[in-house]
Structure 1
């Protein structure tokens, strides 16, 4: 939310915030100021978030607060997940692997997992002892999830898994990977043959490839994963065999809301950075902020960003109410991420040459924002979903 004063927004300005949410947010901000902000540039250079940071988040109760109390969580609402995603994004986009772990992977286990799976994994998700990843994308299959080639064939008490995954966030450090695979390669239609399996890092036949070098999101480790006759216990099947595609479609709504939230937060941060910069930087004897072009550009950006915030917050409320808002979420995911990309270019331009220097945060924001229109389903796929749901 754009702040027009130095005061914190009132609770009512975020329709899903209560006093408990604000206490959680303030506590998390203080934690991140101490434990993340001073070290983030080092993490970017190292291309990795240290496991010790995950553990500190867990020890302080910031991971997966929505998880049921019987597994160690607080049973809190999605508003706490929103706060976690936004506050981590304010530090840097490279921390995106954390909400992926808590609010994208964990819900599959909580919603479709067996009691044994929930009791085994969720408590460790909360403490940071276990880091998770989700592996859908393959070298030859991205947005078309029904076209994946990784297979899982039953053999006694195991599934024998063969295939490869790529662009997997948390792939280097993950202790547990949720993979999409074909248990019936001959199913018609193809998506009915897709299932989900939980693969532990010490599984025989599983290996990690190289840590991929990306344009941005440097501290978020991204990897290739390989399965060479990997032996996965049959009890590691999530839900029912052949229902994996259905489960993914159900959970992608929340994943795309989080994607939109992250892009929205990044845009707000970029605007704040730029407003502060143009007030201080001078050209031709006066502050850049006094030029009409600067004022008009800032006004346009602020308006678009406020529209994005209003839209996204409304979808958060509807999502918390359990409503099916797939069409609107698809709209938000493509529009907000495209808006944030436009914002990055204009904000860098207002920084001039300094905006192209790595020592300025806007440079990092510029390279980090590019991928948001690609992951969680490309924006072209979002438009396809929208048009289909409109009956076109």
Structure 2
């Protein structure tokens, strides 16, 4: 296990976070790095809400967006722990409309049309690795999302509505397992709905009963209370005149375009730095929280960060990338040590676990103006390297 030069770490973190604020890409942010279960560093830069002077605090509430998926990975593995499903369970067992699904293509006029029936049954493994082709990020999938009005519709009230659409109306954009393409909400929504059906309870109630309450995460919720809304940070954006504002599409919502009642396993949670670090630590510690409460068996917790796909599979963002259970696994990367795994969200927050060096990282920020992930001054890769560069033997 490598050690952390704390002085260098904090200098690096503060520098990249300050540049992000100065570049107008976020109003403020806060991050925490733990090693071996102990907080090594917590750095806060900027302010929490537009028009206020208050600095970002560890109990300010952030929209997680796709960092919600890390919690969905645990609820799915809990179902596997209980022998309710396996990674190879065919989802048509729960959703018959997915049996022999149509695969779409783009015609000469740019329209999405059915091409052929799929020969590969979609499994839980395809959902957790983004190799399912359901409302995915590949060119055909992106065109399908555009033509159907987005990931979700205003008429969707809950998970069942969304899953009914995916099951009965949406086509696949490729043969399951043949490539990787990010399924932003659909894959996790199917997993979450599956949990609802197995446990006969709404997904938000399940998450509360079996994850957030046991781990003492009171501010990790799908529908914030009035007091919690008062602690939500600004989602920084700009209007047509270039003036900063609190993103209008996100006001009153936990993820843009989704009604509050739509408890998406892929995108709808809010949380605090304190809460999310408790969750992250429970995964690194083999499924047991720092308070001693076990949410997952050691075997299943350790499976989350183990590769389920080939490295650099067609469609993946990086040649070093592999996928585990809803997490990106990095090996051969120049910005993270081998074996690190985690994910980020569309509003900018990100997290990863380094199992070799026993490090947990949680970085909270909310903005629609963030630089590209590869930005050489402020992007995610720069933040990752600011941690990597502080490690020494």
State the TM-score, normalizing by the size of structure 2.
0.25
More helix by share: 1
Larger radius of gyration: 1
